[in-house]
Amino acid sequence: MKLPRIFTATHGVSRALLIVGLVLTVGFVLVAILAPWVAPYHFADYASAEGDRFPRLAAPGGEYPLGTTVQSLDVLSRVIWGAQTALKVVLLAVAFSVAVGVPLGLVSGYVSGRVDRVLVLVMDAIYAFPSLLLAIVISFMMREALGGGVMAAAIAIAFVYIPQYFRVVRTAALSAREATYVEAAKAIGARPISIMTRYMFANVTQSVPVIMTLNAADAILTLAGLGFLGYGVDANEAAEWGYDLQRSLSDVGVGIWWTAFFPGLALVGFVLGLTLLGEAVNEALNPTLQLPRRYPVVFPKRSGSRVDPVSDPESATVPASPADGDGVIDDPQTIQTGRRPL
């Protein structure tokens, strides 16, 4: 079975990191999707099905594997439901930022002129703001319009990443509009919208998947920062790791470590998995980062007797080319024929 390109383009440590990142990411995604079935309780439950109130600050173990909080909430359930919140916000934020940033960058790079100058000025102004500060401002505005739900947090985070897609796509579009295939499309009378969508789009968006993966990891941290400062998802709407960390600050000072440790561990694990996956995608899509495969050639031992390649084919070897100072030939055809291909 042929392996996907992302596996064949990585080797050694890079492939090991890819596997670790893939396992972490897939694990958190599955937990997020299956949260209604795998979570012991709802994220806002503070009483059992029999009506008995959960104990406050119960240590991990027994009926509560990760303990309970000062509000009598089950930590395990909060962590599982928090993964679902993070996944929802990340998917929406990345989708919104790509849907806005990529078309604007393509239009700006192709049209150029006054439109390009205005868009670049706006995007540079947005990019100049600290990302978390800008997300707080947009989140405050969204809360007034949409409430404190997942959608408001996703839009606030997406606004931060739009300039990144715009700048990357615009730079690629500036080079692509001078390409021969674009000139040929203009010569046959293709309209600008057709040139941008049919001819240029696939060539200017090659690095977008890498940015998406890395932005997904950063979006989780931004969401946690918003929740920690009180501008994220409303506590009544969904469970969120940043909010749980903020509520557990006073617990850590008195030795109640589990209310902050497990949400923080989940946050680090999800971000680490997405980051490793993003680096692997970058290596797979960027030829300059791929390690070249080298094919060693074994030279015969000098024994005074001439080696006959007909009678002893296993002893026959290919002499090194003068260009290869290290005695290594890179091309498989050179090894088989003894000559470099023309």
- Given CA atoms 251, 87, 209, 21 in this order, what sign does their dihedral have? positive
pLDDT of residue 324: 46
pLDDT of residue 341: 47
pLDDT of residue 322: 47
Q: Average pLDDT, stretch 53-82?
A: 89
Strand residue runs (E) in 16-61: none
Would the pLDDT of 5 be above 60?
Answer: no
Tell me, what DSSP letter sits at residue 327? S
Q: Which domains are present in the chain?
A: 5-289 (1.10.3720.10), 295-342 (no CATH)
pLDDT digits (tens, 9 = 90+) for 122-158: 999 998 888 888 999 998 888 877 777 889 999 999 9
Maximum Cα–Cα distance across the chain: 93
**Amino acid, single-letter form, for residue 38:** V
pLDDT digits (tens, 9 = 90+) for 223-278: 999 999 888 888 888 999 999 999 898 888 888 899 999 999 999 999 999 999 88
Distance CA 63, CA 41 (A): 12
- Given CA atoms 224, 268, 154, 150 in this order, what sign does their dihedral have? negative
Of the candidates 167, 152, 186, the residue with the CA atom closest to the CA atom of residue 122: 167
